[in-house]
Amino acid sequence: MLIDITLKVTPKMVSDAQGNEKKALVGHLGTHFDVMNKEFPLEYTKRDGIVFDVSNVGERDIEMDDIAIDKVRKDMFVAFYSGFIEEEGYGGKNYFTNHPQLSDALINKLTDKGVSIIGVDFAGIRRGKEHTLRDQYCADRGVFVVENLCSLRELVDKEGVVVSTYPMNYEGMTGLPCRVVARV
């Protein structure tokens, strides 16, 4: 079974996003990679995947203790289902400024384990000024962040998930729109 976990962008979403997030232009609109100053390796287009349910995490960062970190392996696509994109809706001010975020310790552990991609159903692995800094930290370690995924709930606790990700072939941009499809 194939599950498209790419956000379907509508004209209203474009308008809302551009009114609330200065980077919500072609490269950073909807589901996209933050590649920073790196080249996305073609080997990353197909990865074993795992989706962790972190929807019960409240008003705090998502920590290592919230997931089964021992299931994470090198070269994986590791995603976090929070339910935020479905609850809040994409594009509003709150979506970009009050979304869940991963703790620094969790981000560090994922990069130390050598994952290929970190995927989230919200606007970034960190908020505010830390957003770009942590994206660059990941990219410098060969880890790419995919933001604004959807339908991740369908993949929670599924075995044998393979995720295919195809970014646009843009050059000189910090964000690359992409299509992300999971096979179960």
The enclosing H or E element of 81 equals strand 77-81
Of 53, 181, 48, residue with least CA distance to 114: 48
pLDDT tens per residue, range 62-85: 999 999 999 999 999 999 999 999
pLDDT tens per residue, range 79-124: 999 999 999 998 888 998 999 999 999 999 999 999 999 999 999 9
Query: What pLDDT, on a 0 to 100 scale, did the predictor assign at position 124?
Result: 95
What whole-number distance in Å separates Cα of residue 155 and Cα of residue 140?
A: 28
* Domains: count for the chain: 1
Mean pLDDT of the chain: 90
Instruction: Domain of residue 101: give its range.
Output: 2-183
Query: What pLDDT, on a 0 to 100 scale, did the predictor assign at position 70?
Result: 97
Which CATH number do you get for residue 154?
Answer: 3.50.30.50
pTM for the structure as a whole:
0.91
Helices (H), 10-147: 11-20, 84-88, 93-97, 104-112, 129-140
Query: What pLDDT, on a 0 to 100 scale, did the predictor assign at position 25?
Result: 55
38 has pLDDT over 70: yes
Query: What pLDDT, on a 0 to 100 scale, did the predictor assign at position 27?
Result: 61
Q: Which two tokens stand for residue 167?
A: 């970014």
